[in-house]
Amino acid sequence: MSNLFQSIARPFIASQRPYQPGRPLEEVARQLGKADIAGIIKLASNENALGPSPKAQEAMKAAIPRMHLYPDGGSFYLRRAIAAKYGISPEMVMLGCGCNEHAVLLAHAFLAKGTNLVFSERSFVVYQLVAELYECTAKRVPMADGVTTDLDGILAAIDGNTRIVVVGNPNNPTGTMVSQEAVDAFVEKVPANVVTVFDEAYMELVEPEEQVDTVKHVLAGKKPVVVLRTFSKAYGLAGLRCGYAIAQPDGIDLLNKVRQPFNVNAMAQAACIAALDDQEHLAKTRAMLREGAAFLLDGIRKLGLAPQPTKTNFIFVPFKRAKELAAAMERHDVIIRPLAGFGLPEHVRIGIGTPAENRQCLAALAASLAELG
Ligand SMILES: Cc1ncc(COP(=O)(O)O)c(C=O)c1O
């Protein structure tokens, strides 16, 4: 590679590693020498195998003739719909190009050299990447039993330079959760000069009686709490890139200052308003996941592996030769996620699909394990 730019760039940017997403279907089809993606399934990015909500699909079709216009930069109607869902004011909601954008905006607003960001060791790799992007120290806290967020450990890691703590709940990639009681006690103890971010990208996929309410801590207004949710997972709209943050208006105000003017496109705004209303799709999604999790966990165990029980739409599986396993699965038309990019070279993450996809996945897993010997 030429070196026209690297030596001019700020050194901490030049040494950044880019995020490695799940491999796209088209890329794997090209590698396998196939004309198209038919027959290949992707269980690598925790998407919703049921597809987009039908109501969202209708709304998108209806929005097509208006695509020559810029979107509403303030996402007025979508913010109003989200606010109504939670019984909060629209001033407490800010839309982003997926929650990934919120992670960067929060870092932009609060992190700098000399500060630190605290989060769990085995959690979403984007927290680490944004810390590096802002020359901020990433303090990674070991997990209680190797898979569950240790909230006391996070509290103990907070020091005078901590600006943000992030709790992924449910946690990606381990699929575990911390309870309402534990979260409530945690919020009480986090110092008021530290922003607490609850990344709840997967919360709507959890059975309703087990879901954790953190919006009440935002509403209480005693601590700087931010709740992140997304349309990528439960609502099946990952391709549109839309997520939201809930915080007290002064926090939302800060985030609005650091975002781009049209960060959420008009198609996404139309679809997400309709998707929020589609309780039927959400219920079907949860039912598919409940059955799929039981089927896959059982099948994976029968193949001699030790998968982690999950609260959401993916399964964390320890396997020493993770990269080789993922490559073998691709040769059998199933894309899963090796977790080296998350700093976990001996684990894979397998998304829960439709019943047919889950059967295809188990057959591919059996064949791949046999090949690896
Ligand atoms: C824990 C967690 N947070 C945030 C995101 C980002 O979601 P979005 O698609 O809204 O950017 C993901 C996506 O995989 C995730 O796993």
* Residue 296 backbone phi and psi in degrees, to 5: -70, -40
Ligand 1 atom closest to residue 243's alpha carbon, by position in its atom list: 10
Least confident of 7-11, 35-39, 266-270: 7-11
Q: What is the pLDDT of residue 1?
A: 73
The average confidence (pLDDT) of the chain is 96
Amino acid letter, 177 = M
Beta-sheet pairing, 337-338 with 195-199: unpaired
Q: Mean of the pLDDT values across residues 279-308?
A: 98
Q: What is the pLDDT of residue 253?
A: 97
Q: Which residue has a Cα nearest atom 16 of ligand 1?
A: 172
Q: Report how far ligand 1's centroid is from the alpha carbon of 152 (Å).
A: 24
Going from N- to C-terminal start, the domains of the chain cover 11-38+280-372, 54-276
Q: What is the pLDDT of residue 19?
A: 86
Q: Report how far ligand 1's centroid is from the alpha carbon of 31 (Å).
A: 27
CATH architecture label of 54-276: 3-Layer(aba) Sandwich (3.40)
Asked if the model's pLDDT at residue 20 lies above 90, the reply is: no
Q: Mean of the pLDDT values across residues 32-52?
A: 95
Instruction: State which of 19, 45, 46, 99 you would mutate to test the pocket of ligand 1, scoring each by most atoms of that ligand within 8 A of its C-beta.
Output: 99
* Helix boundaries (H) for the chain: 11-14, 25-31, 54-63, 76-86, 99-110, 125-133, 151-157, 180-189, 215-220, 249-258, 266-276, 279-302, 322-331, 355-372
Q: What is the pLDDT of residue 55?
A: 96
Q: pLDDT per residue over 72-113, tens digit each?
A: 999 999 999 999 999 999 999 999 999 999 999 999 999 999
Measured distance CA(224)–CA(275) in Å, rounded: 29
Q: Mean of the pLDDT values across residues 223-231?
A: 98
Q: Mean of the pLDDT values across residues 345-353?
A: 98
Instruction: State which of 95, 124, 344 you would mutate to test the pocket of ligand 1, scoring each by most atoms of that ligand within 8 A of its C-beta.
Output: 124
**Largest distance between two CA atoms of the chain:** 58
Q: pLDDT per residue over 327-340, tens digit each?
A: 999 999 999 999 99
Q: In Å, how far are 19, 62, 105, 160 from 108, measured between CA atoms?
A: 18, 36, 5, 19
Q: Which residue has a Cα nearest atom 10 of ligand 1?
A: 98
Ligand 1, CB cutoff 6 Å, lining residues: 46, 98-100, 124, 168, 172, 199, 201, 230, 232, 238, 243
Asked if the model's pLDDT at residue 16 lies above 90, the reply is: no
Q: Which residue has a Cα nearest atom 3 of ligand 1?
A: 201
Q: Which residue has a Cα nearest atom 15 of ligand 1?
A: 201
For residue 14, name the pLDDT band (cuts at 50, 70, 90).
confident
Q: Report how far ligand 1's centroid is from the alpha carbon of 254 (Å).
A: 21
Q: Tell me which residue of 191, 124, 125 sits closest to 154, measured CA to CA.
A: 191
Instruction: State which of 166, 199, 315 you would mutate to test the pocket of ligand 1, scoring each by most atoms of that ligand within 8 A of its C-beta.
Output: 199
Q: Report how far ligand 1's centroid is from the alpha carbon of 201 (Å).
A: 6
Decide if 11-38+280-372 and 54-276 have a common fold.
Answer: no
Taking domain 11-38+280-372, whether its CATH number is 3.40.50.1980 is answered by: no
Q: Tell me which residue of 167, 231, 220 sits closest to 192, measured CA to CA.
A: 220
Q: pLDDT per residue over 179-221, tens digit each?
A: 999 999 999 999 999 999 999 999 999 999 999 999 999 999 9
Instruction: State which of 178, 202, 230 you would mutate to test the pocket of ligand 1, scoring each by most atoms of that ligand within 8 A of its C-beta.
Output: 230
Q: Which two tokens stand for residue 74?
A: 């303030």
